[in-house]
Amino acid sequence: MRRSLEVWKMGTVNYLEALKLQEKLASDRKALKITDTLLSLQHSPTYTLGKRQTVHNLLIPDSELKAMGAELHYTQRGGDITFHGPHQAILYPIVSLRDIGLGARKYVEKLELTMIELASIYGVKAQVGQRCETGVWVEDRKIGAIGVRISSGITSHGLAFNMDPDLSYFKHIVPCGIADKGVTSLKKEADVELPSEEVIQEQLISCFVRIFGYNDVVLKDKSFL
């Protein structure tokens, strides 16, 4: 069975704009108006909280975030507080789990494998976390975060892989509610010179396409949106 995917390469997008776009695309996907769609982008500095979380894992007053040039937003995804910012590769899949025959757990596992495979391209051994540790890790250092929403079998939100973000932003939160472990990046862990971030983001897309088994892929430059 052939599976089609439309990939939107969007550059840097404001978090709220990306959120509104995901909501519209998820509604369109549910109504069968569009095929599965993958948004590839970066955000300006933004902290986000999952739907059942509070700011207790934010280590500075939220009033200070603006002075740092960062925003704080509450979301309907799963997971705890996390950071999104420049030099972080983000994928937001808007896909029908029913059409690709996946349950929620298997879907998350494939997102994890997508980041693990990307890290392996550069000789970095990443793996899933221990029990209750979401995302992807290099030993005890988190390199990739996952937070998803599934509504009526349609996914939104997704994954964030640290290429070379300013890791000091993570010092102001307890990432994903895990207090005793650190955060890292591909730049810090790889022993080889990295290509441009555009190349890395394209490789992340390729890993996603391969792991999820899409046959027909259409790339669209949506950076003008």
79 assigned ligand-binding residue: yes
123 assigned ligand-binding residue: no
Catalytic entry in 176, 178, 183, 205: 176
CA–CA gap between residue 142 and residue 189 (Å, rounded): 11
149 assigned ligand-binding residue: no
131 assigned ligand-binding residue: no
CA–CA gap between residue 185 and residue 88 (Å, rounded): 9
Among this protein's residues, is 207 annotated catalytic?
A: no
CA–CA gap between residue 138 and residue 123 (Å, rounded): 11
Cα-based torsion angle of the residue sequence 166, 168, 173, 174 in order, rounded to the nearest 10 degrees: 90
- At residue 113, what is the residue type? L
77 assigned ligand-binding residue: yes
CB burial readout 132-155, b (16+ within 10 A) else e: eebbbbbeebbbbbbbbbbeeebb
84 assigned ligand-binding residue: yes
56 assigned ligand-binding residue: no
159 assigned ligand-binding residue: yes
Q: How many CA atoms lie within 13 A of 142 on its CB side?
A: 25
69 assigned ligand-binding residue: no
Tokens describing residue 214: 């899409």
Q: Active-site residue numbers?
A: 176
Q: List, as residue ranges, the binding site.
A: 77-84, 145-147, 158-160
Binding residues for substrate: 77-84, 145-147, 158-160
